[in-house]
Amino acid sequence: MLDRPTKPPLTIRLCQPRGFCAGVDRAIQIVVLALKKYGAPVYVRHEIVHNRYVVEGLQKLGAVFIEELSEIPPEHHDAPVVFSAHGVPKSVPADAQARNLFYLDATCPLVSKVHKQAMRHQRLGRHVVLIGHAGHPEVIGTMGQLPEGAVTLIESEEDVARFDPADPAALGFVTQTTLSVEDTAGVIHALQEKFPEIKAAAAESICYATTNRQEAVKETAIGADLFLVVGAPNSSNSMRLVEVAERAGAKMSLLVQRASEIPWERIGEIGTLGLSAGASAPEIIVDEIIDAFRERFDVTVDLAVTATETENFPVMRALRDVELTKADMAFVNG
């Protein structure tokens, strides 16, 4: 009897926390519950969260994704429309009201908090500096809370050097919630050096989930032969995790959306794999990736717990009379 070839050993350092944050979980629940309560179609403006697997799963349930409210046909104007977790400019709900649409706002409460911080700065007579990435839906939504010209977007320390405000003594800053803590610290330091009177937001803008996932990656990336982050290329928080892993000492750090994207030919011989998932990546794909490594390696999973998250953001009152079951969320949670 021939001996089977033995699989090489592999330790997977699995980050905890990882994956869905409370805001993402709430947003997906809102779409699922709206479909249960009102039936299909339920329209969703922009990707509810930045993850293709999630979007396709909701499409199978009857969600229709659009970029603009004008795409909703007249015969469906009584169907609900959901605004994504990233938040929207004030012009979007105003447009929905003008069209007599019924909308459900799934903006993450922590993004809404940044909106309020920006509005508070303006109310106190300050020009608002928003630290973030141009074109990101959250940035568009935050800038859209205030009148044209009331917000300046700063992406880098170079932008700070070029920034020449009308009144350097009347500035206040907020940040996109999904940025790298280190990168943001550098920009904030540059702003405070150049404009000593600039005011910070009343509370931290980068959300707890972003910070927690970055801290977990920092601890598990040290000495890892490979670090994989489950997430989408248009997911800001997922891309930041890849960068954090590289800086923390992983020999190679990659973003993958599915197990089918793992570049086995590039990986070669590895003994330690770090694994995390961005805040919009479902746990079912993490399981899929671990199974893919089990087919090729003798895997030991080492759960690296760096924080415990207990946050839970309830859905709006209009949906609280609908029961949400484990089976309803099985397409993302397994």
User: Is 269 a catalytic site residue?
Assistant: no
Catalytic annotation, pick one of 56, 71, 138, 182: 138
Residues, the chain: 334
Is the Cβ–Cβ distance between 12 and 299 less than 8 Å? yes
* 268 contacts: CB under 8 Å, gap ≥ 6: none
Which are the catalytic amino acids?
138
